[in-house]
Amino acid sequence: VENYRFGATPTRQGSSLTVMTSDASHWGIRGSEDLGGGNRAYFKAESGFQADSGVLTTANQLFSREVYVGLSNPTLGSLQLGSQ
């Protein structure tokens, strides 16, 4: 939510404007599972939407931001597949 205030001048009175922008709204799910021995599987799926209307930012594409799955090991590091 953004609020703008305009001061008065000799030829017009002051005013204000409040608008709701949706350039940073997103929701998603993520999780992980301990596979034992320090190994871990994880995922993330995130989608953008317009906060004022609820419409997805990318039409007909539910998870349009980050979507990936991965495996991690304390010795070998991580391997991720997907879109970031």
Q: What is the pLDDT along the chain (84 residues), one digit of tens a residue?
A: 778 888 888 888 888 888 766 566 888 999 999 999 999 999 999 988 877 777 777 767 788 788 999 999 999 999 999 987
- How far, in Å, CA of 56 to CA of 79, rounded? 29
Contact 41, 52 (CB under 8 A): no
Helices (H) and strands (E) in the chain, counts: 0, 6
Chain-centre distance of CA 4, in angstroms? 25
**pTM given for the model:** 0.62
C-alpha distance from residue 29 to each of 43, 44, 58, 82 (Å): 8, 6, 18, 15
